Amino acid sequence: MDSSIEMPVWPQYDHREKELLLDVLESRKWWRMNGNKVDTFEKKFAEFCNAEYCIALTNGTHALELSLATLGIGKGDEVIVPAITFISTATAPIYNCATPVPVDCDPKTFCIIPEAIEKAITPKTKAIIPVHMAGQPCDMDRICEIAKKYNLRIIEDAAHAHGAEWKNKKIGTFGEFAIFSFQNGKIMTCGEGGAILTNSKELYDKAFLIHSVGRPKFDKVYKHLELGSNYRMSEFPAAILLAQLERLPEQNKLREKNAKILDNLLKPVEGITPQSTDERVTINTHYMYMFYYDELMFNGITREEFVQLLNDNGIPSYICFPIVSNTDFFKEGKFRSYLSKIDITNIQALPNAERMAKEVIWLPHYLLLGNEAFIKHIASVILKIKEKVLVSML
């Protein structure tokens, strides 16, 4: 391998994480209620996203569950979600006794299709959870219009989109809530963590109570004003996130630059078609570099075999999420006491999602933090595999 090629690593850290972590350790204030790191992170993250309020949480899954609970969405309600997403987008409604309704995604941007949302609306529909897929913001103009027309709440699932922008406006304040994840693979991370943003004081106050077992901020007398759970973040992950946030804007820029370089290098490769960016998107955070893989152009080597070859050649890669309603627990109706059964025969046709679930491959975002030699190396590995499999056809 060319010596100028640097294989990027993830997660990244430097002296900032160390300083901030040590600060927490030595302060003996490890809990958000007596320390200041969680408070400071919430303030800085809200500012970064131009939002009024932030609550740091245990993880992104809890962030979705908390948002729905705060909005009072529950039994008998329907929540529209994209068919292709990480499972939590669809399980959070179930945990609140509501029914997730998966709809189709755009074959180019991989985001939920606004017209498909509109078609799925029934008198029971209460909310939409658009997912900014791989860091590409959804068409928030149309989604906000639809929400207004039918009086629906919006919870943006921005687990991939920290710092992304739709038409120069930061993702995170288009709806009642936006949720973020700081899990190990995400573009800023503390191992496990999450957050919600909102511009509503009333929703913030209620969400704060629910995330802290119903207790007001400085309660010392066991006051429980709401039914809640414990979704509080501790001071240690918040310390790491403060440092991660300082690095994020620069990393978002580098990923955009490198994604464009990789797009151009892969353009001539028949059988590889990358996710495309809507031209109204001003920042795409590229949490995943996603592309269709056509096995016919690779001598019948299956997608799974191709992913294995990429991994064998030092390029970490994965297959796309399944359609949420095609997961085992969903198909078998194992919803415990939450819902008796979701009638999956009622789900709209999902032809684009089916193709994505079958043909899409993704590379993790940190590969796009490599130097230019590494980006060229990714393309050359793909080309070399292609040459090899085509030669073996002769």
Tokens standing for residue 120: 């799925």
Query: Which conformational region is residue 183 in: left (phi greater than 0), alpha (psi within -120 to 50 degrees), or beta?
Result: beta
Residue 232 is given by DSSP the state B
Is 65 an interacting residue with respect to ligand PLP (CB under 6 A)? Answer: no
Subset of residues 283 to 322 that bind ligand PLP, contact rule: CB under 6 A: none
Shortest Å distance, C-beta 19 to ligand PLP: 25
109: contact with ligand PLP by CB under 6 A: no
User: Considering the complex, what minimum distance in angstroms separates the CB of residue 88 from ligand PLP?
Assistant: 4
**Applying CB under 6 A, does 131 fall inside the site for ligand PLP?**
yes
x/- track of binding to ligand PLP for residues 191-210 (CB under 6 A): ---x----------------
Residue 185, CA atoms < 13 Å, CB-side half-sphere: 15
Q: Is 181 in the site for ligand PLP (CB under 6 A)?
A: yes
* Contact with ligand PLP (CB under 6 A) among 17, 106, 157, 165: 157
DSSP codes joined into one string, 89-102: HHHHHHHTT-EEEE
Q: Please check whether residue 369 is in contact with residue 255, taking contact to mean a CB–CB distance below 8 angstroms.
A: yes
CA geometry: angle at 27 spanning 21 and 32, to 5°?
Answer: 75
Who's near 239: CB < 8 A, 6+ residues apart? 17, 20, 21, 23, 24, 37
Query: Looking at 42-50, 58-66, 333-341, 373-381, which segment touches ligand PLP (CB under 6 A)?
Result: 58-66
Residue 299: count of CB within 10 angstroms of its CB: 15
Selected binder of ligand PLP within 46, 56, 61, 101 (CB under 6 A): 61
Identify which of residues 81 and 301 has a Cβ nearer to ligand PLP in the complex: 81
Choices 38-46, 72-80, 157-165, 380-388; region in contact with ligand PLP by CB under 6 A: 157-165
DSSP 393: T
189 binds ligand PLP (CB under 6 A): no
Angle (nearest 5°) at CA 310 between 364 and 260: 50
- Residue 241 tokens read as 């996130």
212 binds ligand PLP (CB under 6 A): no
> Edge-to-edge strands of the sheet including 360-364?
272-274, 288-293, 360-364, 318-319
Is residue 159 close enough to count as binding ligand PLP by CB under 6 A?
yes
Q: Which of 24, 42, 55, 60 binds ligand PLP (CB under 6 A)?
A: 60
**Cα(172)–Cα(185) distance, integer angstroms:** 20
The binding track of 75-94 with respect to ligand PLP, each residue x by CB under 6 A or -, is ----------xx-xx-----
Among all residues, which ones are annotated catalytic?
186
Question: Shortest gap between Cβ of 89 and ligand PLP (angstroms)?
Answer: 5
Q: Which is nearer to ligand PLP, 187 or 375 (CB)?
A: 187
Largest CA distance in the chain: 78
Residue nearest to ligand PLP (CB): 60
Interface contacts to ligand PLP, rule CB under 6 A: 59-61, 85-86, 88-89, 131, 157, 159-160, 181, 183, 194
